[in-house]
Amino acid sequence: MPKCDMKTRYIPATFAWILLLSTTFLFFFYPCQYYLKSHPWVPAYQGVITFFVLANFSLATFMDPGVIPKASPDEDREEEFRAPLYKNAEINGITVKMKWCVTCKFYRPPRCSHCSVCNHCIETFDHHCPWVNNCIGRRNYRFFFFFLVSLSIHMLSIFSLCLFYILKITPNIRDTPPIVAMVLMAIVIILAIPIFGLTGFHMVLVSRGRTTNEQVTGKFKGGYNPFSRGCWHNCCYTQCGPQYPSLLKPEKYAARRSHKDGQGISVITTERRTNQQGGSMRGNNTPANVPRSPRETLKNYYDRDNRHTQLSPGRECSDTDMEPQASQSQDCEPTPPLQRHNSTNFYLPQVEAGVSNLNNGAIVTGASAMMPNAGAGGGGG
């Protein structure tokens, strides 16, 4: 997907805001005046629905979707050319391939993808929505979903109330309020198919524990989805799950970290298998868990169930990204000779000896030191 021109990038979102605010204003200014006298509860009900629509729309637009900060210039300067294209991590009996992002300079957590429009890696990437001018990811998907649901209810209410209003004042059909009501009904009819269709589509995705990116790429087509909790638990997690902190503001959450034990992660390398406790070592014998930038104060942060662990030299990322609710996005192909045609990112691992758990939560990042002749992986983020 090519990058959008900054001058035209805001046009769809601006149009969406203008359309939403103008139609809502016309409804309250004309047809709703009738209900204000005869049925006072109608304006109050519609006002609550409008508040939910605007609040969720604002949160989906302006909230950080889950951007993983890029590596600073002094990070991974040498390791990039020796890092393998993939690192295999075994999580709950499932082996997941984590791809090296040559743009952001770290291994992407499962379900993370690089957005070509925003030029950032997004946690639990769903899609980039031009109508909110923002990516939809781990932190703002809930509000995007609530926005779609509340907007659908808002549209149904406006259509029903306008229709009832027109039927009640049939003799005065040529007055301004009835004409405005008919215009609003026409707008709702035009937008009904895309809005209601998108809402139903995301309801199905939530019940199945998938993202739009996974559904479009057919990642679990005819196969097992290791990241689904079941229909009921998927819905509960989306609506009532924890709100994860923003990695763009680590200082804000550094003081809130708890002291829960994280889950162990087995990392399977291509050549050897290494068991290290605590930190991990690169080829230059420098501990990778030593913080080198202010945002790395999050390295000891623990979220509700899991803690952040190391996915690349000098990089910190969330272990919860590699729980069974996430998967790596299939957004680009590697360059030859490393091919992955006719293969999937997820497969049942073979039982082999020597695979060890890193109970302290640190990912072994010594794959490049064991493969000194491996070049940097292709695929532009």
C-alpha torsion 29→32→38→44, nearest 10: -110
User: Catalytic residue among 104, 129, 135, 317, which?
Assistant: 129
Measured CA to CA, the distance from residue 196 to residue 48 in angstroms comes to 20
- Dihedral (CA of 72, 74, 80, 86) sign: negative
- Cite the beta strand spans of the chain per DSSP E: 67-68, 86-91, 94-101, 106-107, 113-115, 120-122, 127-129, 134-136, 265-268, 308-312, 315-318, 346-347, 357-358
Q: How far is CA 80 from the centre of its chain?
A: 26
Tokens of 179: 């004409």
Q: How far apart are CA 162 and CA 244, in angstroms?
A: 41
Is residue 129 part of the annotated active site? The answer reads yes
Structure tokens at 133: 């001018």
Pairing of strands 265-268, 86-91: antiparallel
Q: How far apart are the C-alpha atoms of 81 and 277, rounded to whole Å?
A: 26
Q: What is the DSSP string of 214-227?
A: HHHHTTTTTS--TT
Q: Which residues contact 317 (CB under 8 A, 6 or more apart)?
A: 68, 106, 109, 247, 308, 309, 310, 311
- 360: how many CB neighbours lie within 10 A of its CB? 16
Q: With beta carbons less than 8 A apart as the criterion, state whether 60 and 143 touch.
A: yes
Structure tokens at 331: 């957004």
Q: Which residues are catalytic?
A: 129
